[in-house]
């Protein structure tokens, strides 16, 4: 796999370089609420610009329906990226149209342009390879015959999309620093991790995590379960869960997982319950076996936090993906905060698996340098650990 350093060693002064970044940030209106992915994209973009490249950045935001939608515009991202770079970032108003061409043509050496949301073009995520290839040809034309492609959006490398996969077949392709770092970290987890190897999984649905649970169970020493998914496991044990989140169709699957886990799966022993899904709800902490009808579990309780914390502090390797509760609401943030703090307090090689877990670290004010690595790609991390091939990585290795 060729790297960004290889490209810079070859020389990029005056060359156009197409960079696929992951700038899919959460927005409140046009205000970015967590710029972690923009921050993570900076090193590769900065390195190329400082070496004199004309940097053409492509990214997506949200899930538009294959046509322009103002609420998914990358305009706020261009502004924030420019602030962090300390110089303006030119935003094209289309993906590969006249604005994209004129914006890229106007770049000086060391300049940075951002194309509008690549998912405004339906060909980006088409299942038809020819349609994706046609868009990739237009991306390649933007940077010309001496151009290059740098893959730096780890959060999308599990997608076979035009700006992720097909473009790498059209131009000399290199792994950006972020993709390289992410793959190296995941290889450590998939190889021979230091023991005890502890995985903490949260989030809402067992179905979303089933493949990774099945893949990791033979490899881990302990699998700590929290978040909404724990209630389907509790139901599988025969406990009432009130109005808590339940995937009824997954109960039998959870029964089998528990039976086959040889005690590795650990469930919460107490739960913070509420009579409403709101920060103003009435709350109680009850044993996990005593969730009342009409109430819903929204966080793991303090006894569970203490038990999980001890396991995490004593671990040699930790992978954490998914919050323990509804951390966005203050009454239900203690579980996620406690688990995260225990990881920080330990001496493990610790990986936060992107997505809501990474957002929780920042929202709850935990020290980012307290973790060995905070991934930018939750879905990509999980698919790698499931043993799936990541198309956007495989194409760089071809």
Q: Is the previous residue joined to 263 through a cis bond, with omega within 30 degrees of 0?
A: no
* Residue 23 is assigned to a ligand binding site: yes
Residue 355 is among the residues annotated as catalytic for this protein: yes
* Residue 159 is assigned to a ligand binding site: yes
If we measure between CA atoms, which residue out of 220, 151, 158 comes closest to residue 383?
158
In the set 101, 205, 255, 313, the catalytic residue is 205
Let me know: does 120 contact 69? Beta carbons within 8 Å. yes
If we measure between CA atoms, which residue out of 38, 51, 63 comes closest to residue 152?
38
Residue 379 is among the residues annotated as catalytic for this protein: yes
d(CA 303, CA 287): 9
* Residue 247 is assigned to a ligand binding site: no
d(CA 291, CA 272): 9
* Residue 62 is assigned to a ligand binding site: yes
* Residue 22 is assigned to a ligand binding site: yes
Hunting for tokens 């499931």 — which residue is that? 386
DSSP-derived secondary structure for 66-117 = SS--GGG-SHHHHHHHHHHHTS--EE-SSSSSHHHHHHHHTPPTT-EEE-S-
Q: What are phi and psi of 62, to 5 degrees?
A: 65, -155
d(CA 219, CA 88): 48
Q: How many residues does the chain have?
A: 398
* Residue 284 is assigned to a ligand binding site: no
Let me know: does 277 contact 296? Beta carbons within 8 Å. yes
* Residue 354 is assigned to a ligand binding site: yes
Element (H, E) at 318: strand 317-321
Q: What are phi and psi of 396, to 5 degrees?
A: -75, -25
* Residue 94 is assigned to a ligand binding site: no
* Residue 63 is assigned to a ligand binding site: yes
The DSSP call for residue 193 is P
In the set 292, 313, 379, 388, the catalytic residue is 379
d(CA 152, CA 141): 20
If we measure between CA atoms, which residue out of 142, 158, 164 comes closest to residue 95?
142
Residue 343, Cβ neighbours under 10 Å: how many? 27
* Residue 61 is assigned to a ligand binding site: yes
Phi-psi label, residue 354: left if phi above 0, alpha if psi -120 to 50, beta otherwise: left
In the set 15, 37, 123, 296, the catalytic residue is 37
Residue 314, Cβ neighbours under 10 Å: how many? 14
* Residue 83 is assigned to a ligand binding site: no
Facing residues of 291 across strands? 241
How far is residue 343 from each of residues 209, 234, 309, 315, 329, measured CA to CA in Å? 21, 25, 8, 9, 22
* Residue 42 is assigned to a ligand binding site: no
Residue 205 is among the residues annotated as catalytic for this protein: yes
* Residue 52 is assigned to a ligand binding site: no
* Residue 234 is assigned to a ligand binding site: no
* Residue 24 is assigned to a ligand binding site: yes
In the set 355, 377, 378, 392, the catalytic residue is 355
Residue 241, Cβ neighbours under 10 Å: how many? 23
| Residues making up the binding site for (2R)-3-phosphoglycerate | 37, 119, 159
Annotated binding site for substrate: 22-24, 37, 60-63, 119, 159
* Catalytic site positions: 37, 205, 355, 379
Binding region for ATP:
209, 297, 328, 354-357
Pick out the residues of the known binding site: 22-24, 37, 60-63, 119, 159, 209, 297, 328, 354-357
């Amino acid at each position: 796999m060729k790297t960004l350093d290889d490209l810079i060693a070859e020389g990029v002064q005056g060359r156009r370089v197409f960079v696929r970044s992951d700038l899919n940030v959460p927005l409140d209106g046009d205000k970015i609420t967590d710029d972690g992915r923009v921050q993570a994209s900076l090193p590769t973009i900065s390195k190329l610009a400082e070496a004199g490249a004309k940097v053409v950045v492509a990214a997506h935001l949200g899930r538009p329906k294959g046509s322009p939608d103002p609420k998914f515009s990358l305009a706020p991202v261009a502004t924030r990226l420019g602030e962090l770079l300390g110089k303006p970032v030119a935003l094209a108003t289309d993906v590969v149209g006249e604005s994209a061409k004129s914006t890229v043509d106007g770049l000086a050496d060391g300049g940075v342009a951002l194309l509008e949301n690549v998912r405004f073009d339906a060909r980006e995520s088409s299942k038809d390879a020819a349609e994706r290839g046609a868009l990739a040809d237009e991306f390649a034309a933007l940077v010309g015959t001496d151009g290059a492609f740098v893959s730096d959006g780890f959060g999308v490398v599990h997608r076979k999309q035009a700006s992720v996969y097909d473009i790498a077949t059209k131009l000399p392709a290199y792994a950006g620093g972020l993709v390289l770092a992410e793959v190296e970290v995941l290889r450590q987890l998939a190889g021979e991790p230091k023991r005890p190897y502890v995985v903490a999984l949260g989030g809402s649905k067992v179905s979303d995590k089933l493949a990774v649970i099945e893949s990791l169970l033979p490899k881990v020493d302990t699998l700590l379960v929290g978040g909404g998914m724990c209630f389907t496991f509790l139901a599988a044990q025969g406990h009432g869960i009130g109005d808590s989140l339940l995937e009824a169709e997954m109960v039998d699957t959870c029964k089998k997982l528990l039976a086959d886990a040889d005690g590795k799966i650990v469930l919460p022993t107490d739960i913070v319950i509420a009579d409403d899904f709101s920060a103003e709800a009435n709350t109680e902490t009850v044993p996990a076996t005593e969730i009342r009808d009409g109430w819903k579990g929204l966080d793991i309780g303090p006894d569970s936090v203490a038990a999980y914390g001890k396991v995490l502090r004593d671990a040699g390797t930790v992978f954490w993906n998914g919050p323990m509760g509804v951390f966005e609401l203050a009454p239900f943030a203690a579980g996620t905060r406690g688990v995260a703090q225990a990881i920080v307090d330990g001496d493990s090689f610790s990986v936060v698996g992107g997505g809501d877990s990474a957002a929780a670290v920042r929202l709850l004010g935990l020290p980012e340098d307290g973790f060995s690595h905070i991934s930018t790609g939750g879905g990509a991390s999980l698919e790698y650990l499931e043993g799936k091939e990541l198309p956007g990585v495989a194409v760089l290795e071809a």
